[in-house]
Chain A
Amino acid sequence: MADVFDRVKQIIVERLDVDEAKVTKEASFKDDLEADSLDVVELVMELEDEFDMEISDEDAEKIQTVGDAVDYIDSNQ
């Protein structure tokens, strides 16, 4: 589990240029990590590549926090 979280965190830190300490499971992309909606779309695209999976538009819309992304990946891999 930690493995998925670390990989997700790495991508977020690089893409959004945020401090690693801010990337907690509870962190909201928009409120805490200052991502706009297009940033989130891009993040989801990168996660799809990193974890070799497809995330539907409906599911992607439900991903609000770092934890949402990690949980989605964990339960769909």
Chain B
Amino acid sequence: MLDGKVALVTGASRGIGRAIALELAQKGANVVVNYAGSQERAESVVQEIQDLGQEAIAVKANVANADEVKQLVKSTTDQFGSIDILVNNAGITRDNLLMRMKEDEFDDVIETNLKGVFNCIKTVTRPMMKQRGGKIVNVASVVGVSGNPGQTNYVAAKAGVIGMTKSVAKELAARHINVNAVAPGFITTDMTDALSEEAKQGMHDMIPLNRLGEPEDVAKVVRFLASSDSDYITGQTIHVDGGMVM
């Protein structure tokens, strides 16, 4: 399905990013596993991909830093000669009530979750335009559509990503670059494990399909949007949330 394609997945050392990296590799892609913190975990994802028979490298870069992103993309094209798929997954949370939210809590989340996506898209556009095609998939969130108390910064960034997806999709459509987003709901990862039991139960009660999502639920949709099966889809945000937000 993705044989010979080269995919760059940001924030791929754990959680949804890890599941996406593995899913793409399983379908034949070679993968660059970007990480910001844990080299060990990134290397173990690389190992798992190699065990699947695909090539992979781990590259450290903070997506909020444009220069580091340039190096990240250069490492990708140096290693694999092209870049066919970009998955913007890297993200952080700094939750707080609006009244208590500090300026740097707001800025950090915008820098990584919104500007980081801009940096990565801008940098891969050049090689993708030269190749006359590419697939960009942004990992947004359903809270970017519905809003969520305590996450003013995160929601603003994710809503921004959804808007950016549409603008960039229109700009690059003539160059056969598809740009779409997935909006995960409540997925079991380290990020959501940190929530209180009550918060988790509260989320659970809002999910019509009556279960929490797994990272693989998201990864499969990303794989679809990264493949030629979705060539006629661009600028869309697909909710992967068990029906939580309709």
Spell out A's residues near B (CB within 8 Å): 38, 41-42, 45
Contact = CB atoms under 8 A, between A and B. Distances in A.
Nearest to A46: B130
Interface string B164-187: 000000010011000000000000
Nearest to B171: A38
5 contacts: A38-B171, A38-B174, A41-B129, A45-B126, A45-B130
Nearest to B132: A42
Contacts of B130: 45
Contact of A45 (B129, B171, B174): B129
Contacts of B174: 38
Contacts of B171: 38
Given A38-B175, A41-B129, A45-B126, 5 more contacts: A38-B171, A38-B174, A42-B129, A45-B129, A45-B130
Interface of B: 126, 129-130, 171, 174-175
Contacts of B175: 38
Nearest to B174: A38
Query: Which label, helix, strand, loop or mixed, suits the secondary structure of the B interface?
Result: helix
B86 to A, nearest CB: 18
Contacts of B129: 41-42, 45
B118 to A, nearest CB: 14
Nearest to B129: A42
Contacts of B126: 45
A42 B127 CA distance: 11
A66 B81 CA distance: 31
A35 to B, nearest CB: 12
B73 to A, nearest CB: 14
A41 B128 CA distance: 13
A41 B171 CA distance: 12
A8 B175 CA distance: 22
A75 B130 CA distance: 26
Nearest to B125: A41
A56 to B, nearest CB: 14
A27 to B, nearest CB: 22
Closest 8 CB pairs of A and B: A42-B129, A45-B126, A38-B174, A45-B130, A45-B129, A38-B175, A38-B171, A41-B129
Nearest to A37: B171
A21 B28 CA distance: 47
B83 to A, nearest CB: 15
Contacts of A41: 129
A33 B129 CA distance: 20
A42 B131 CA distance: 11
A41 B172 CA distance: 12
A41 B174 CA distance: 13
A25 B126 CA distance: 26
Contacts of A42: 129
A38 B126 CA distance: 11
A41 B122 CA distance: 13
A54 to B, nearest CB: 12
Contacts of A45: 126, 129-130
